[in-house]
Each structure stands twice: as structure tokens, then as C-alpha cells.
Amino acid sequence: MGVGHDLGEQLRAWLVADPASLRQSRALTNRLIDAMGANDSLKGPIRDLANQPLLLQALHSQGASQRSAVASLTAQLRGTYAPAVLTELLDLINTATGLEADERNSPAQQPPEPRPEPARPAVVTPQDFGPGAALAASGALVFAWCGGELDRVVFEGWGWSGGVVLVLVLGVIQALAIGPFKWLPRLWSLNSRQSHQPRDAWRWLSQAWIHSNGLEASLNLLLLLILLGSSPLQLRDVILRYCLTALACLMLSALCAARWGVQRRWSGAAGAISALIALAAGLSLLHWRVINFNTGGLSIPAWVLLLVYGALHLGWQLPRQADEEQSQPWQRLLCSGWGWGLLLGFTWAVITRLRELL
């Protein structure tokens, strides 16, 4: 089975779950192109196919009307595309509509089989995220070990803190993404459709190290420097905590996105930064004293960072990322790394305070 069959199965599941969201060519095109991920081989033909009115008629009709639309669309495609591309496009159409067609014969000579009962869309379970989460957790241990060795061999002699080194590494990767490797943000990020696909499990490992949004990248690097620049932690500990916090926020966000059908793309350090700010702000409130972060001669209260960073992320996370998406604002916030970082940070502040009291 090729790309056409996989896209056809995905399209059929979308039609069963919410057919009304796919009545516009633009929405259909966006869904199919996103589902292809980094595979660029058929994006042009798929985009052209999704803009065909006959495809919408074939997807949203049944019986003779559907068979007629499929036959007309097949004849049109046969006169346009080479055999290899044509096979994939027909496989997509036949799988999505549920019609069996014999490519070796003309549709007029051999009509398709009647459409079977549609299958129920696959239900995403927590186990589906297991490969990606396991790979990210294992990667965190490897990255931490590498950080410990680099610290021992290089950065301890230079007197650099682990937080500064982490910011430097993230900054270099982001600079490469802006310059010679502009494909990095698209390749390394993770979206809600890829999150439960075993073939995309490696994206769980990479998504915390690069930002798709350049403005967010600059802000996060600045905040990491403020939060961790004077941290006494070794590089090994900084990397381990960064990776595991980002993984916890990503796992909870992906579960919520799958549960509510929210379309999201995750990348960068928002979860870890939000957790650090919320922890400091929570402890500041529970101890009833101001906790400041000192950098560059400035003393910045934790509550200032909480309000500024929170306001920016509300503007980024509240809008829908897909036109056809039907979700509530609070659901979209809980499908973001920033939202879960906030909750985890405040939770850890409460636990820390309770341990002090006990």
C-alpha cells in the first residue's frame, strides 16, 4: 500500500467523524497536505485533486451519483497524469469513497462495487503515544550524559553555567534553521496527526530543540537566559530537567488534542519555560514574598514574567490552527505546552510548600 491508500484511509476516517468540515476544497486541501507531512512527492497532484469539484461530489454522495462522479473524475485524471501518479490518486479516491475499481478497465465498462458500510474512525489511545514518549525519555538520558561529558571536558574550565550552554545550543540550532537549513522547523516539529504515528516517533525527540515561530524562539531564548543564566546546576542536570519537563507537557498536550480533535503543532521550549516561571511565581505567592530573577543589572519579579509570557501565549494559543476545527478556547489552551507547563509549575510549587510545612 502506498501514499494514496494511506491518505484515502485517513480521509475516510475524517468523513465518518465530521463530514461537514470537508465540504470546502480549501479545508480538504489543508487536511491532505498536512497528513502527507514531509513527503513532497505527490503534493502537487494531491493539491490539484483536492480542488476538483468532482472529488467533493464523490465524497459527499452515494449510489449512482457517487459512481458517476468517480467515473468522470477517473477519466479526467487518466488523461492528465502518468501511470505511477495516476495509480496513487485512484487508490486515494477508491479508498476514501469505499468503491472498488479495477484500474485495468474503463469505469464505463466495469462499474465499481457498491459502497460498503463506512468503518469507524480509529480511536487514539495513550498507548499510541508510547513509542514517541519512550524515545524522548531515552533521548533525555542520552542528551544528559552528553551534556555531562561536554561540561567535564570543555565548559567547566571556561566557568560557564549549564543554563548558558543550553541557551547557546538552542540559539545555534535556531540560527541554522533561519539560515542554511530552513527545512528544520518543518521537519523537527510535531503536529497532532503525527503524534500517534509510529513512523513519526522520532519527532518527539527533536521537537523541544527548535521553534517553528521565530518570534517565540527569540523570546524563549531570552527567558531561558534570565531563568537559568545564573543557575548552579551542571549542564547534565539542566538538560535532563529541560527534556523531561518538555516531554511531560508534550504528552499531556497530545493526549488532550487527540481527545478533543484539536489540531496543534508543537515545537520549542514553551512548556519548560512556563513550568519554571509558574514554579517561581507559585512559591512567591505561597511564601508571600517576591522572588526575583537577576540578569544584566535588572531584577525581574517572577510575577512580571508570568503575566508577560502568559499574555503573549494567550495570543498565540487561543486562535484555531485549522479552519474546520470545532473546539473551545480552554481546550486549545490545554493542548499547548505552555498551558500544561503553567499547571505543572504551580502544582510543583504547592508540593514544595507542603513538604516544607511537613
pLDDT digits (tens, 9 = 90+) for 252-302: 999 999 988 888 889 999 999 999 999 999 999 999 999 999 887 889 999
Distance CA 38, CA 345 (A): 34
Closest CA to 139 of 16, 283, 247, 15: 247
What lies within 8 Å, CB to CB, of 61 at 6+ separation is 69
Look up the pTM and report it. 0.66
Residues 214-242 have a mean pLDDT of 92
What lies within 8 Å, CB to CB, of 256 at 6+ separation is 262, 331, 334, 335
* pLDDT band, residue 247 (cuts 50/70/90): very high
Distance CA 92, CA 279 (A): 49
Handedness of CA 267, 268, 272, 273 (dihedral sign): negative
What proportion of the chain, given as a percentage, has pLDDT over 90?
A: 42
Q: What's the fold here for domain 130-357?
A: Rhomboid-like fold (1.20.1540)
Q: Across-strand partners of 299?
A: 294
pLDDT, mean over the chain: 84
Does 166 have pLDDT greater than 70?
Answer: yes
Residues 37-46 have a mean pLDDT of 72
Which residue has 472529488 as its cell numbers? 55
Higher pLDDT, 154 or 41: 154
Query: Would you call 196 helix, strand, or coil by DSSP?
Result: coil
What lies within 8 Å, CB to CB, of 159 at 6+ separation is none
* pLDDT band, residue 108 (cuts 50/70/90): very low
Stretch(es) of the chain classified as CATH 1.20.1540: 130-357
